[in-house]
Structure 1
Amino acid sequence: MNVAVALLTTALVIVVALMAAAGAGKLARMDGATYPAALTRAAVTFAGVVTLAATVAAAFAALLT
């Protein structure tokens, strides 16, 4: 059961990160950024969301153990 919850949570974090990255890339393109610049902004957003999720998970793990 714990493995299934961990896999589902990981999948949810990846989906949310991809959606945030797509939104950031689209907003960058609408702002007039070139494709490489928009891709860079999307990648930074994706990395930021994944890092934030890992930090929150580590904080919860420290509190619960």
Structure 2
Amino acid sequence: MNVAVVLLTAALVFVVALLAAFGAGKLALMDGATYPAALTRAAVTFAAVITLATTVASTFAALLT
């Protein structure tokens, strides 16, 4: 049961990160950025969401143990 919860949570975080990256890239293109610049902004946003999720998870793990 715990493995399923961890996998579902990881999948949810991955989907949210992809949606945030897509939104950042789309907004960058609407702002007039070039495709490489929009892709860079999307990649930075994706990495930031994954990093934030990892930080929150490690903080919760430290508090619950």
Q: Identify whether the pair has TM-score above 0.5, normalized to the shorter chain.
A: yes
- The alpha-carbon deviation at position 49 of structure 1 amounts to 0.0
Gaps in structure 2 of 5+ consecutive residues: none
Structure 2 CA distance for aligned equivalents of residues 64 and 27 of structure 1: 38
Query: Between the two proteins, what is the percent identity of the paired residues?
Result: 83
Q: Map 1:1-65 onto structure 2 (within 5 A).
A: 1-65=1-65
Aligned residues: 65
Gaps in structure 1 of 5+ consecutive residues: none
Structure 2 residue identity aligned to 1:50: I
Structure 1 CA distance for aligned equivalents of residues 14 and 28 of structure 2: 21
Structure 2 residue identity aligned to 1:46: F
Relative to the length of structure 2, the TM-score reads 0.99
Q: What RMSD in Å do the two structures reach over aligned CA positions?
A: 0.2
Which consecutive segments of 4 or more residues in structure 1 shift more than 3 A? Answer: none
- The alpha-carbon deviation at position 50 of structure 1 amounts to 0.2
Relative to the length of structure 1, the TM-score reads 0.99
- The alpha-carbon deviation at position 22 of structure 1 amounts to 0.2
